[in-house]
Amino acid sequence: YEQTDDVEADRVAIYELGLGRARVLSMDGRAEAFTRWYEGEGGPNAEVAKKASATCSTCGFFMKMSGAARRIFGVCANEWSPSDGRVVSLDHGCGAHSETDVRGRRGDWRQSTPVIDEGEMEVIEMGEIRPKVIDDAPAPSSEDAPSAVASDDDASAPSSEDAPPAVGSDEDSGGPAADTPSSDGDDRND
């Protein structure tokens, strides 16, 4: 590696060299690790990868690694994936791809047309509303029936004496109206 003016490139080179660490993997050691990862459960030959509809290279949960491994590997960050938190190759697949949707499943039988037509409104004229009479109570016996004659203690009950006399009845002649003077000047109290 040689030093360049690009700070990011220099940082990767320093990281790759392992400056500050006593031991680092050699190129052969990294190649062996990459081969092991690629041929293992995180590679394209895994059973789950063969059944997957899309690869990790196009998944939104795929986080690329840095350095030389960046071209081939990344880490899965999908919590619902069986590969979550593991190193996977770009051509690996797990079935939990970020673009995977559940297909709409057809029913087991053909849907018939609805019996109720909800598209049209039917206007109904309502008749007179009568209160509902609930006749669950037994008929009152003669002992339970209230008396027809009002007692003297019941002051709130109207009596026949409180009612105004009918016009042309016999009570017209003997009532208090007979004591009033007539308008023609006839004075009976003389």
The whole-number pLDDT of residue 1 equals 47
Q: How far apart are CA 26 and CA 12, in angstroms?
A: 16
> What are 52-93's pLDDT values in tens digits?
888 898 899 999 998 888 899 999 999 988 889 999 999 999
Q: How far apart are CA 41 and CA 87, in angstroms?
A: 9
Confidence band of 6 (pLDDT split at 50, 70, 90):
confident
Average pLDDT rounded to a whole number, residues 9-22: 67
Average pLDDT rounded to a whole number, residues 132-142: 70
If we measure between CA atoms, which residue out of 140, 159, 162, 143 comes closest to residue 151? 159
Q: How far apart are CA 68 and CA 32, in angstroms?
A: 13
> What are 101-135's pLDDT values in tens digits?
766 677 777 877 767 777 787 888 888 888 777 77
The whole-number pLDDT of residue 163 equals 58
Helices and strands per DSSP (H, E), number in the chain: 4, 3
Q: How far apart are CA 56 and CA 48, in angstroms?
A: 12
93 exposure class (CB count in 10 Å sphere: 0-12, 13-18, 19+): buried
In the DSSP assignment, the letter for residue 154 is -
The whole-number pLDDT of residue 82 equals 87
